[in-house]
Amino acid sequence: MAELKPGARLRSVTCTTEVVVVRATGEVDLRCGGQPMVEMAETSGPSGEPAPGFDGGTQLGKRYASQEAGLEVLCTKAGAGSLSVGEALLDVQGTKPLPASD
Protein backbone atom coordinates (compact mmCIF):
# COMPACT_ATOMS: atom_id res chain seq x y z
CA MET A 1 0.00 0.00 0.00
CA ALA A 2 1.14 3.50 -0.74
CA GLU A 3 0.29 6.95 0.54
CA LEU A 4 -1.42 8.57 -2.45
CA LYS A 5 -1.76 12.33 -2.85
CA PRO A 6 -3.76 14.34 -5.37
CA GLY A 7 -1.64 15.06 -8.44
CA ALA A 8 0.45 11.87 -8.13
CA ARG A 9 1.09 10.18 -11.49
CA LEU A 10 1.14 6.38 -11.54
CA ARG A 11 1.50 3.69 -14.19
CA SER A 12 0.77 0.00 -14.51
CA VAL A 13 3.43 -2.71 -14.55
CA THR A 14 1.19 -5.06 -16.59
CA CYS A 15 -0.01 -2.78 -19.41
CA THR A 16 0.15 0.78 -20.77
CA THR A 17 -2.37 2.30 -18.29
CA GLU A 18 -1.38 5.61 -16.66
CA VAL A 19 -3.43 7.61 -14.15
CA VAL A 20 -3.38 10.85 -12.18
CA VAL A 21 -4.76 10.81 -8.62
CA VAL A 22 -7.64 13.31 -8.32
CA ARG A 23 -8.71 12.52 -4.75
CA ALA A 24 -7.16 10.24 -2.13
CA THR A 25 -7.29 9.79 1.62
CA GLY A 26 -4.45 7.90 3.29
CA GLU A 27 -2.88 4.66 2.18
CA VAL A 28 -4.51 2.90 -0.76
CA ASP A 29 -3.61 -0.41 -2.45
CA LEU A 30 -4.18 0.85 -6.02
CA ARG A 31 -3.64 -1.85 -8.63
CA CYS A 32 -3.96 -2.29 -12.37
CA GLY A 33 -4.22 -5.71 -13.96
CA GLY A 34 -3.98 -7.24 -10.48
CA GLN A 35 -0.52 -5.76 -9.71
CA PRO A 36 0.33 -2.64 -7.66
CA MET A 37 0.80 0.56 -9.66
CA VAL A 38 4.16 2.36 -9.52
CA GLU A 39 5.36 5.97 -9.74
CA MET A 40 6.00 7.29 -13.26
CA ALA A 41 9.70 7.76 -12.39
CA GLU A 42 10.33 3.99 -12.17
CA THR A 43 12.16 2.97 -15.32
CA SER A 44 11.01 -0.62 -15.89
CA GLY A 45 8.43 -1.06 -18.66
CA PRO A 46 5.27 -3.15 -18.61
CA SER A 47 5.96 -6.83 -18.04
CA GLY A 48 3.53 -9.71 -18.18
CA GLU A 49 -0.19 -9.66 -18.76
CA PRO A 50 -3.13 -8.49 -16.65
CA ALA A 51 -4.47 -11.24 -14.38
CA PRO A 52 -7.77 -12.93 -15.33
CA GLY A 53 -10.66 -10.89 -13.92
CA PHE A 54 -8.50 -7.75 -14.00
CA ASP A 55 -8.22 -7.56 -17.80
CA GLY A 56 -11.29 -5.45 -18.66
CA GLY A 57 -9.19 -2.43 -19.65
CA THR A 58 -9.19 1.27 -18.84
CA GLN A 59 -10.53 4.10 -20.98
CA LEU A 60 -8.70 7.34 -21.74
CA GLY A 61 -10.25 10.38 -20.05
CA LYS A 62 -12.52 8.40 -17.72
CA ARG A 63 -12.55 8.83 -13.95
CA TYR A 64 -12.47 5.72 -11.78
CA ALA A 65 -13.46 5.82 -8.12
CA SER A 66 -13.91 3.87 -4.92
CA GLN A 67 -16.16 5.54 -2.35
CA GLU A 68 -15.00 3.09 0.37
CA ALA A 69 -11.32 3.96 -0.16
CA GLY A 70 -11.98 7.68 -0.78
CA LEU A 71 -10.11 7.43 -4.09
CA GLU A 72 -10.67 8.97 -7.52
CA VAL A 73 -8.22 8.74 -10.42
CA LEU A 74 -8.24 10.04 -14.01
CA CYS A 75 -6.99 7.73 -16.77
CA THR A 76 -4.40 9.61 -18.88
CA LYS A 77 -3.35 6.61 -21.01
CA ALA A 78 -5.59 3.63 -21.76
CA GLY A 79 -4.50 0.03 -21.28
CA ALA A 80 -5.62 -3.59 -21.07
CA GLY A 81 -5.66 -3.86 -17.25
CA SER A 82 -8.55 -2.96 -14.95
CA LEU A 83 -8.07 -0.60 -11.99
CA SER A 84 -8.78 -1.90 -8.50
CA VAL A 85 -8.24 -1.21 -4.82
CA GLY A 86 -6.94 -4.56 -3.64
CA GLU A 87 -9.32 -7.12 -5.17
CA ALA A 88 -12.25 -4.67 -5.59
CA LEU A 89 -12.57 -3.25 -9.12
CA LEU A 90 -13.03 0.52 -9.41
CA ASP A 91 -16.24 1.95 -10.87
CA VAL A 92 -16.26 4.31 -13.86
CA GLN A 93 -17.68 7.65 -12.76
CA GLY A 94 -20.62 8.88 -14.80
CA THR A 95 -20.88 12.41 -16.09
CA LYS A 96 -22.50 14.95 -13.80
CA PRO A 97 -25.46 16.77 -15.34
CA LEU A 98 -25.08 20.51 -15.73
CA PRO A 99 -27.69 22.73 -14.08
CA ALA A 100 -30.51 23.86 -16.30
CA SER A 101 -30.32 27.47 -17.46
CA ASP A 102 -33.95 28.42 -17.89
What digits encode the pLDDT tens for the residues 62-93? 999 998 889 999 999 999 999 999 999 999 98
Residue pair 28/69 in contact (Cβ under 8 Å)? The answer is yes
User: What is the Cα–Cα distance from 95 to 69, expressed in whole angstroms?
Assistant: 20
- Burial label for 49, CB within 10 Å (0-12, 13-18, 19+), is middle
pLDDT digits (tens, 9 = 90+) for 1-50: 678 899 999 999 999 999 999 998 888 999 999 999 999 888 777 777 89
CA distance 56 to 50: 9
Q: How far apart are CA 11 and CA 74, in angstroms?
A: 12
46 or 60, greater pLDDT: 60
At 25 the pLDDT is 82
The per-residue pLDDT for 9 is: 95
**Alpha carbon distance 57, 82 (integer Å):** 5
Instruction: Name the residue ranges covered by the structural domains of the chain.
Output: 2-92
